[in-house]
Chain A
Amino acid sequence: MSHVVARRANTEPRWLRLTLTAVGLGFLFLFLAVPLVAVLFQGFAKGWRAYLDGLAHPDALHAIGLTMFIAAVALPFNIAFGVAASWAVSKFDFRGKSLLITLIDLPFAISPVVAGLIFLLIFGAQGLFGPWLAEHDVKIVFALPGMIIVTLFVTFPFVARELIPLMQAQGKDEEEAAVSLGASGWQMFFRVTLPNIRWGLLYGVILANARAMGEFGAVSVVSGHIRGETNTLPLHVEIVYNEYNVVGAFAAASVLALLALVTLALKTLVEWKMRQEIREQRAELPPERTE
């Protein structure tokens, strides 16, 4: 009896379920699947060989490597920031919280071109620190450091904004319990907080990663577009497209699209590991009792 109630309580009637699924999937089909198919369609317009040739070009390979490198360097910083910021915002009360959240959001609202521009205004030859940097022969813009800084800027809010609503919804009871039971700060964080937020964290990282790899406008301003040197994959796509090499451009774009599918692998992996852990814990239960 209670079983029936529970089932009815936790889900919608069948017709509504079907309707919602149809609407949701229809929306995704129209806005995601069709464009993806169109990209792949153009990439494969001249067959597998042309597709792979487009990717195997040294410039394309270099661009793929550079793109992954920049994302790999930029992400850890923003993860650390995101966790710290969401901890402060969601577990404590202080004045100006809305202001802080708004400032965290701000990089999203800034046009990528402007994002590039502001770093030129600071580090460019005509910029604030430009003359000093030139004197000391330090290259920031039109080199790797500038591209990393700009990537940090455009992906700045992701992890924090993913975690804040989640941690707010979770409240702080569990952490407080852990602390009152004598856990140290880091113990509490790794044993209680981190497991609770892992999905949100994962989503944030995946989004930030996707955006870091796909960013064009801001990076374009500070890259200098030097072939085989400071061209990331999105920049490579644009150049190749402008050269009337549509297959090469869309092949490279599809690589970026496929990188987005990494979610699939990551999420599956994490789920699998979790299930493994639970199983191990269950297996360990009897000895624990004897302790």
Chain B
Amino acid sequence: MSGSIRKLLAGALATGWMAAALPVFAQTSLLNVSYDVARDFYRDYNPLFQKYWKEKTGAPIEIKQSHAGSSKQVRAVADGLEADVVTMNQASDVDFLADKGLVARDYATKFPDNASPYTSTMVFIVRKGNPKGLRDWPDLVEPGVQVILPHPKNTGNGRYSYLAAWGYALRQPGGNDGTALEFVGKLLKNAPLFASGGRDATTTFMQRKIGDVLVSFESEAELIAREFGKGEFDVIYPSLSILAEFPVAIVEKVVNKKGTRKEAQAYLEHLWSKDGQENAAQNYLRPRDAGVREKYAAQFPPIRTFSVDEVFGGWSRAFPAHFKDGGSFDQIYQSK
């Protein structure tokens, strides 16, 4: 026991000193700056790409990962974090980098599928057996139903949840911005709290047993099952939900400076390869490739979705309309 602790300490000290003292090796390396729950995906993807790259060019390549909240990450890139590529969970974050001139304005057309190699959607996670019989969005605004979701204004998946409910209300007969505002207002009234992030929302729902339904990414359900057990909850697919896209882009300024354009391009392109798409499916993210989608069909029940572009005219409009100061979220919380 004491031996292993000593080893641990020695290792910790040694690595710390090395980090401080040694310059980075001359080997080509890419820095992928990403959002926080993409860790598992890229942990599996990076070795796939490294193998592919080695076979293709004979040269080894190092991939470094950085994960944190999505908009915090792009702000860091704008402030000088030298990312070769960014892989984000909503377009507004990459748009911000385009505004700053770090990413090509037309980044969405540089890769197929809106530059989003996989998608996901918002689903309901309810208590085992669905005791409150929650089936669709209108059930969530009923009095006495407690809804758990991350902060709609400050977090990526909170925003997707918010827009999903808004889009649903808009698509109902007679739906307009007024009815949508009312619908979402009622939904938020049923939220006893706003979690600080997706992970915190899950802890609140699963471990602290607060609330009747958790609105979350479909892919998150698998992670929840891994931590808390499959038998602890049910996943409910509403009749209509939002298509969450995860855009990727090359940071032009950095690859030009570092001379890594070729590698960065290949790294992102490979996301659309069979391997890359299978990896997405294995991480419960909906692949774009039809063949792979077929293979994993059992994992992804059909669900009607709308994209942010279709309903809101893109993130560049949705964001100011709903999440900036004075947007629809703030209107809901104005005291009369």
Chain A residues with CB under 8 Å of chain B are 52, 55-56, 58, 61-62, 64-69, 120, 124-127, 130, 134, 141-142, 144, 220-221, 224-229, 239, 241-244, 246
Contact = CB atoms under 8 A, between A and B. Distances in A.
A244 B76 CA distance: 25
B79 A64 contact: no
Given A124-B80, A246-B227, A58 B31 contact: no
A227 B301 CA distance: 35
Interface stretch (B33-41, B129-137, B274-282, B315-323): B33-41
Interface in B75-131: 76, 78-82, 100
Contacts of A62: 12, 15-16, 19
Q: List the 10 shortest-distance A-B pairs measured between CB atoms, nearest first.
A: A65-B16, A125-B80, A124-B79, A64-B12, A62-B15, A65-B12, A244-B227, A225-B66, A69-B16, A142-B81
B303 interface: no
A127 B79 contact: yes
Contacts of A56: 4, 8, 11
A61 B5 CA distance: 11
B16 A142 contact: no
Nearest to B222: A244
A145 B4 CA distance: 32
A67 B20 CA distance: 11
B68 A142 contact: no
A213 to B, nearest CB: 12
A227 B79 contact: no
A141 B80 contact: yes
Contact of B81 (A65, A224, A242): A224
B199 A241 contact: yes
Contacts of A130: 79-80
B79 A229 contact: no
A239 B67 contact: yes
B6 interface: no
A55 B5 CA distance: 10
28 contacts: A52-B8, A61-B8, A61-B15, A62-B12, A62-B16, A64-B12, A64-B16, A65-B12, A68-B13, A126-B78, A141-B79, A141-B80, A142-B76, A142-B79, A142-B80, A142-B81, A144-B19, A144-B20, A221-B76, A225-B68, A226-B31, A228-B64, A229-B19, A241-B199, A242-B197, A244-B199, A244-B223, A244-B227
A58 B66 CA distance: 16
B59 interface: no
A65 B79 contact: no
A22 B100 CA distance: 60
B224 interface: yes
B81 A243 contact: no
Contact of A242 (B13, B19, B37, B72): B37
Contacts of B81: 141-142, 224
B14 interface: yes
A222 to B, nearest CB: 9
Contact of B64 (A124, A141, A220, A226): A226
Nearest to B35: A242
B66 A66 contact: no
Interface string B32-62: 0100110110000000000000000000000
A239 B36 contact: yes
Given A64-B16, A65-B13, A242 B39 contact: yes
Contacts of B224: 244
Nearest to A231: B66
B97 to A, nearest CB: 12
A208 B278 CA distance: 48
B36 to A, nearest CB: 5
B8 A58 contact: no
B25 interface: no
Contacts of A52: 4, 8
